[in-house]
Structure 1
């Protein structure tokens, strides 16, 4: 691999104008495609093959209006007043009539007719039924419905508009998210000691993420793309793009400082650091692409979209970076006497000397008593992981929206005046009715359902075809409560008995709440198999890279510890409410269903990234005859600075997205930020050196028969021939 990438790097260096022009053309092409064929976002959560989805599809065929999106109009009278007072009742009637004339609205239920008035008389609830699903609503549907409530507001009523149709909205990226980029620039300047190198690094990352992100948006006209997917692709693509370029560019500057000619250095940096970039990038791509095996469309698109952005970041780093090195030439050589030059000179002159850099001093400290370091680190990580045992999963609804949004206000008002279950009613589809007795049979089914624990009431409604009906079931518990999930299971267990007793063909539980529960259950069930696949992949890949049995096992266990700590932190904040005001978490509750599996996929790639860059340098020292502990310290001396910079950049980018309003992105960004810090600084830079020092030479043991079977990936670039002595000065070479 290193030989191929070495040739690729030198070719890009020589043909820098053509390579750069090609990437500019690719960027222009995806922009044109986005402008011409780009579509809109679709935040519908579907789960093909589930009972709830099959019943919902069947309901849409039988009665499109009954399967359409629903909204709530909540009217609240001032303190000491009631909505039944004449002036308020008249205003509510005007709003019901106006809402019925809004585009796409099929029906509006008058709260006085349906008796949807709170026991204290202060609130009334009008249900709006659209004739289309939520994903087909006009972009201004919420604003149009709000405009229809003017009469009630003028009469002195407080009116909130919400419901399932407006439970989620598009994710917006604001100036706050640019803080991560600013921090990344500062870290790059401090790491390189060069504005030119830092600028090149950021430029390459921005080009890669622009191509990947705009390309993903261009596909929105042909695929179902959620509003969260581009934000995730932006967050991950920006982070890995900066890091991958950092790895290659830092190796290039180190080689230039040692006197290597710029072209040869560009090839060698691409062949060595680039090999690790390929390995790390492919692990992220494979893990993210693996999300498609769960069988949930929106998660598949989200994973593949982020994977595509990472793949673009890898390709840009391997080609555009050496091309820009060609334009910079010798100007990337650390200036004589500069801090960067002195650091590189010290590393070269004291390769076998005692620890001198911060990374080497830290390695020497943690390997002095490796058993104690391992014990303390394991205890700390396990303690932080304890909250993960209480991890609960659910899809977001209006209860997780911003506190000042009308959909959140409507959600809270419905819970307060009518009970939490009204926010998440279940729909039971009764199919195969005899038209002659349909009303009586549907009533009998509703009555039986009403006797089930956690059911407040069940109301039957015949559909237009006469052979099917729906029963709206209102639970006592909210849509994200465990009791509601239990109720769905109880109703499905009851269905076969009801089918035999009533003679109907099918009784199925569906509706937005049931679909969300099924999605969460599917994702929860896929979490362990996915973890086993990811850990197994880590073992195989690291076995190929390091040609060792114990190093991959150690790396995989370290990854699981990082994931556990990250999950624990997410549970503590988003379920228990720790620091929720500081982080702007709108409400506590279950964690977004796809966060754990998505976090594992991304963190796996990042963890292997740091593992390769640190341990490959340690292995290189060991191969050249270094003692076990000395090899660990020497490897940290060379690689720790770059890994620290990469981890800080990753953390800054992810942390900047924690302040985004959308709770889904907030939870994912927070989990990744914590995971990066824990994995880089606790696992890779503390636990790994201690474990390798404790294992000694046995850490690199590999059975001979297995050594003969495994291909040699040569990530360290051992097969590259030594560079020929430069016949010209660096300055001359840079001008050629």
Structure 2
């Protein structure tokens, strides 16, 4: 298969390049339309009680979503301001699609006790189509912003999703402007020439185009979260550079053994292409765990990110060989080095870990476990506007309300739907759970009771209130919805499906690693060491963003919990990325073992030949992830820090110390498999490789 791809790319390189140019135009043209289709409805889980109740309200409630305006910075009793506000209220009431706008001067709780701020809530009519709702929201927001006051902010409801989408687009642009020049500079250092350094960026741009196009395609059939843009773009950019780096390093090696560029390309695809293929498959398989969850958000993220990984993999084994065929003749071969000089530092590290294998295990494993300890106290929440940078309008609105109004103002209520047939005693017990319970009748005989929790929208008080309603109702036809109830259902969904997701991913990874190595012990060792690095990275994220240690240094703050989006994405993506470096190293170890038959020396040689490329790849990925952490959006900061730490810990501590220590400890047993499985491997294992070079001195 890889040979066929290489022959196609080298036989008609211009055709392959032209097809990819068309793909890029499509991605950056049609694909960028996804920015206008993003959703902030992350915690929705189809089939749960909170979702069924929300859908029932969508069908029967005559009122729809709402947006909120806040006016601050001038005395609300000022006659001039009052006149402006009253005119604005009247104008907004006349907008088609607006159901109600209370007068803040006559409605209790809408003017601050200090007299320096007021709230303007706007409720939309129910059943509006997307265009009508968008028109009503934009018109109402524009009219409120015309109020002449030092600070006027409007957000919430469907407007919040639009603002987050615009912020996501801005963050992606800024991250690309930061990361691409830095990545190019690092690649210049690695390759010493602009031509070779530029090729990984071409593949990276293909990955970004693939991210946009995949997300746009999925947005036609399902909701796409605002988080998806940054996550898929950062992964598409990072993996593309990783794969291109691995291929280019191997190409420069092969050029040292043959002057025929096409032959060098074929050998490169046969050897490094195999590693890229398995690496892409392992990352994609790691993301299949997200498909086990019924959450639309998690499923769409898993599909979109897997699609981006496939695009990167295909670009590396088709577009890059075509580019090398056309321009590779001017790329300098890797410099020949005396025997023992190439990869000397990594060989020393490998020999040290091999000699002191028990000491390495006794030191590194406990250290990683200590870093992972905070995971035992991890909490997840939907989060509120405090997750946003202070420069965003939604955050400014939140801060204004928090500064001028009592705690709990503006917090979404726990919404209880009392269907026809609910007895009066049950209804009374539910109303008694909140001193500010508000009830209203719906067409068809149902009653909606809104219970106002204290504290945050998804804090312990709110979630406990949602649980308490479900306990109090007994067998009555009562359903609970709202952000707190959705969080309770989301947590329950994670707890129920996480074991199945783990089994799916681990089984898939085991099969792929077995196909790659022919061993049953190496996949087990790889999974265990990867879980250590993953736990350590996630533990640091909890310590920083949940507990608040050093969060300020990242432009964030301790929130008491992680965003519910962060842990599943960190685990799924980081697990796949860790396989990249494992495969880079195992490929070289396998080659050395096949060439020499010496298990112990193969460990050292494998790390000698792969250490530099693994280190460079990890550094480049860290740069990409770090650039996406400049946006200040807390969930992306959490995901970015988690992936950066996972990559760096895995590429250094785990792959440079634990891998040689454990491989040496296992010895020849590391490559063992029962006879029936060895026969299976001969059938399914990909063994397509370049022939060994005439000289053994290769370089990375």
* TM-score, reference length from structure 1: 0.85
Q: Is 1:161–2:157 an aligned residue pair?
A: no
Equivalent position of 1:51 in the other structure: 49
1:610-649 alignment, distance < 5 Å: 610-649=581-620
Q: Which residue of 1 aligns with 2:242?
A: 243
Residue 24 of structure 2: which of 27, 36, 45 is its match?
Answer: 27
Q: Which residue of 1 aligns with 2:430?
A: 449
Query: Per the alignment, do residues 149 and 481 of structure 1 end up closer, same or farther by CA in structure 2, a change over 3 Å counting?
Result: same
**1:52 Cα shift?**
0.9
Q: Does 1:63 align with 2:90?
A: no
Out of 357, 363, 383, the residue aligned to residue 350 of structure 2 is 363
Number of residue pairs the alignment of both structures matches: 684
Asked whether the 8 Å contact 1:360–1:634 carries over to 2, the reply is yes
For residues 198-254 of structure 1, the C-alpha deviation after alignment (integer angstroms, 9 at most, x for no partner) is: 112221221243244235335544543233223222111111111111111211110
Task: Give the Cα–Cα distance (whole angstroms) in 1 for the partners of residues 538 and 128 of structure 2.
Answer: 31
Residue in 2 aligned with 1:710? Answer: 681
**Residue 481 of structure 1: aligned partner:** 459
Per the TM alignment, residue 604 of structure 1 is displaced from its structure 2 partner at its CA by: 2.0
User: Could you say if the C-alpha distance between residues 681 and 143 of structure 1 is closer, same or farther in structure 2, counting changes exceeding 3 Å?
Assistant: farther
Q: 1:581 to 1:472 in 2, by over 3 A?
A: same
Contact 1:411/1:423 (<8 A) preserved: no
Structure 1 residue 692, shift from structure 2 partner = 1.1
Equivalent residue for 2:134, pick from 132, 135, 138: 138
* Other-structure match for 2:100: 107
Give, in whole Å, the separation in 1 of the partners of 2:157 and 2:619. 39
Question: Which residue in 1 is equivalent to 2:178?
Answer: 179
SS in structure 2 at match of 1:138: helix
2:425 matched to 1:461? no
- Cα separation, 1, equivalents of 2:37 and 2:110: 38
Secondary structure of the structure 1 residue equivalent to 2:45: coil
Q: Distance in 2 between matches of 1:534 and 1:204?
A: 27
SS at match of 2:645: helix
Once the two structures are TM-superposed, the CA of residue 356 in structure 1 deviates from its matched residue by 5.4
Structure 2 partner of 1:203: 202
Contact 1:647–1:676, Cα closer than 8 Å, also in 2: yes
Query: Within 5 Å, which residues of 2 pair with 1:3-402?
Result: 4-30=1-27, 33-34=30-31, 40-45=37-42, 46-65=44-63, 68-74=64-70, 92-111=85-104, 113-116=106-109, 120=113, 122=115, 124-132=118-126, 136=130, 137-138=133-134, 141=137, 144-145=140-141, 147-148=143-144, 150-151=146-147, 153-154=148-149, 159-168=152-161, 169-170=164-165, 171-172=168-169, 173-217=172-216, 220-259=219-258, 261-334=260-333, 340-341=334-335, 345-346=336-337, 349-350=338-339, 353=340, 357-402=344-389
| Shift of residue 113, structure 1, vs aligned partner | 4.7
The equivalences for 1:492-641 within 5 A come to 492-496=470-474, 499=476, 506-585=477-556, 588-641=559-612
Do the aligned partners of 2:288 and 2:505 also contact (CA within 8 Å) in 1?
Answer: no
Once the two structures are TM-superposed, the CA of residue 305 in structure 1 deviates from its matched residue by: 1.5
Question: Could you report, residue by residue, the CA deviation over 1:601-621 in whole angstroms, capped at 9, with x for unpaired residues?
Answer: 211221111111102212332
- Whole-angstrom distance in 1 between the partners of 2:394 and 2:343: 58
Q: 1:364–1:37: structure 2 CA closer, same or farther, 3 Å change rule?
A: closer
Distance 2:656 2:362 in 1: 15
| Secondary structure, aligned partner of 1:20 | helix
Change (3 A) 1:209 1:411: closer
1:393 deviation in Å?
1.2
Do 1:575 and 1:589's aligned partners in 2 also have CA atoms closer than 8 Å? yes
The alpha carbon displacement at 1:43 in A equals 2.9
Deviations, residues 417-464 of structure 1 (Å, cap 9, x unaligned): 232264121111112169xxxxxx77x666422433xx342111112x
Q: Offset at 1:139?
A: 7.6
Residue 20 of structure 1 deviates from its aligned partner by 1.5
Distance 1:407 1:11 in 2: 52
Change (3 A) 1:308 1:364: same
Give the distance between the partners of 1:189 and 1:321, measured in 2 at CA.
Answer: 18
Counterpart for residue 337 of structure 1: none
- Relative to structure 2, which stretch is displaced further, 224-233 or 646-655? 224-233
2:463 touches 2:487 (CA, 8 Å); kept in 1? no
Report the 3-state secondary structure (helix = DSSP H, G, I; strand = E; otherwise coil) of the residue aligned with 2:390: coil
More moved, 387-396 vs 622-631: 622-631
Distance, in Å, in 2 between the alignment partners of 1:133 and 1:384 is 50
Partner residue of 1:431?
A: 419
Over 3 Å counting, the alpha-carbon distance change for 1:117 and 1:179 in structure 2 is: closer
TM-superposed deviation, 1:526: 3.1
Q: Any idea what SS the aligned residue of 1:710 has?
A: helix
Name the CA distance, whole Å, in 2 between partners of 1:560 and 1:516.
27
Of residues 210-219 and 545-554 in structure 1, the stretch that sits farther from structure 2 once superposed is 210-219
Alignment partners' CA distance in 2, 1:375 and 1:487: 47
Task: After TM superposition, give the deviation of residue 655 of structure 1 in Å.
Answer: 0.9
8 Å CA contact 2:24, 2:209 repeated in 1:
yes
Aligned to 2:646: 675
Corresponding residue of 1:729: none
Change (3 A) 1:119 1:19: closer
- CA 1:531–1:449 in structure 2 vs 1: closer, same or farther (change >3 Å)? same
> Alpha-carbon deviation of 1:167?
4.5
| Alignment partner, residue 698 of structure 2 | none
Asked if the contact 2:544–2:558 (Cα under 8 Å) also holds between the matched residues in 1, the reply is: no
Question: Closer, same or farther in 2 for the Cα pair 1:183/1:577, shift >3 Å?
Answer: same
C-alpha RMSD of the superposition: 3.1
With structure 2 as the length reference, what TM-score do the two structures score?
0.89
Displacement of 1:691 in angstroms is: 1.2
Tell me the SS of whatever aligns to 1:585. coil
Provide the rounded CA distance (Å) in 1 between the counterparts of 2:173 and 2:9: 36
Matched residues in 2 for 1:666 and 1:139: separation?
Answer: 33
Contact kept? 2:371, 2:536, Cα under 8 Å: yes
The 1:402–1:143 alpha-carbon spacing in structure 2 relative to 1, beyond 3 Å, is farther
Match of 1:728 in 2: none
Q: For 1:253 and 1:23, how far apart are their aligned partners in 2?
A: 24
CA contact (8 A) 2:584 2:610 kept: yes
Task: Give 5+ residue unaligned stretches, structure 2.
Answer: 696-700
Structure-2 separation of matches of 1:629 and 1:134: 69
**Equivalent pair of 1:71/1:129 in contact (CA under 8 Å):** yes
How far the C-alpha of 1:17 sits from its partner, in A, is 1.7
